[in-house]
Amino acid sequence: MHCHKWGGRMQGKIALEEHFAIDETLNDSKQFMPEIWAELQSRLLDIHEKRLGFMDKHGIEMMILSLNSPTIQGIPNARRAIELARKANDLLAEKVRKRPDRFAAFAALPMQDPEAAIQELTRCVKELGFKGALVNGFSQVTEGDSAVYRDVPLYLPFWSVVESLDVPFYLHPRDPLPTRAQVYEGHPWFLGPVWSFGAETAIHALRLMGSGLFDKHPGLKIILGHLGEGLPYSMWRVDHRLKKSSRGIPARKPLGEYSRTNFCITTAGNLRTQSLLDAMLEVGADHLLFSTDYPFEEIGEAAEWFDNTSISENDRIKIGRLNAMKLFKLG
């Protein structure tokens, strides 16, 4: 499929924050959109019918699919997390094999056990042909009320393998645990995609930058959705204040440098031209990727906005297709 505008629509787009569910993980998504649960549920479980129809209609050649949230990360029992991740990945591999021209996959990983996560990522990339991993923020480990983030030393061997496999790691949101969500008390409407997803993911990404991870593993590529979870807009101030008082931060460079070198950001669920232009100015068009966040967002709405947003055709083709082809080594 060639990349061209047809009837005002860009053909050949590649989207990579696109979710599916298996029976065991389905209910994890109910809380986000209970009003339209019947429809959402059928869209999460479907891959080759309705989804493909929307893709054809709106010029999307390929979707890289990932498991819904928080699923594996919300299972404190490591053995159960390992089993379910493996099951979800095997089912996804089967779905992709039916239409490898239209679908690719991100691995779900049991981060509760870093060694098991290494094994599963390696299996998925080398044996199943997956394009990387998507992980829903922190993990609950052993007990329901724990939150383990990816910057802790425990994960250094894992990051070393991600770098050597040369695949991207999508840091996807999840809500803070109820015991850590006092700021939302009495304001439940700000949980989830409205606000807490972005706030939670942004501080997680900052932790990775500040920990010195990218000094040790400069080849790592992390993906953030929703136009970077607010970070592009804030990086100057972060570094400006760290310069005045760094309090011994391990990172060797200004954090903005990592955000421009080691991160890519997608348009998933953030269809605002002004924000896209700001992101392009902050991180460069080469680090931006089109996505829709289906089925929590409408493919048509995302595609129509992107096809017509006021950027150059050169940038549209890069963000819509070429950057993803390069990052994921597609065709």
Fold of 5-327: TIM Barrel (3.20.20)
Instruction: Report the C-alpha gap between 3 and 92 in whole angstroms.
Output: 27
Tokens at residue 40, please? 């959402």
* Non-local CB neighbours of 330 within 8 Å, separated by 6+ positions: 14, 62, 104, 131, 324
- The CA radius of gyration of the chain, in Å to the nearest whole number, is 19
- Are the C-beta atoms of 135 and 103 separated by less than 8 Å? no
pTM: 0.96
Token pair listed for 205: 């990404």
Residue 35 confidence (pLDDT): 82
pLDDT attached to residue 36: 84
pLDDT tens for the 331 residues of the chain, in order: 445 566 578 999 999 999 999 999 999 998 877 788 889 999 999 999 999 999 999 999 999 999 999 999 999 999 999 999 999 999 999 999 999 999 999 999 999 999 999 999 999 999 999 999 999 999 999 988 999 999 999 999 999 999 999 999 999 999 999 999 999 999 999 999 999 999 999 999 999 999 999 999 999 999 999 999 999 999 999 999 999 987 899 999 999 999 999 999 999 999 999 999 999 999 999 999 999 999 999 999 999 999 999 999 999 999 999 999 999 999 8
- The one catalytic residue among 151, 293, 307, 315: 293
Residue 293 annotated as catalytic: yes
Q: What is the pLDDT of residue 1?
A: 45
Task: Kindly state the tokens that stand for 317.
Answer: 């083709």
What per-residue string of b and e applies to 61-87 under the rule 16 or more CB within 10 Å gives b?
A: bbbbbbbbbbbbbbbbbbeebbebbbe
Domain map (residue ranges) of the chain: 5-327
pLDDT at residue 161 in the model: 98
What phi and psi, each to the nearest 5 degrees, are found at residue 98?
A: -70, -35
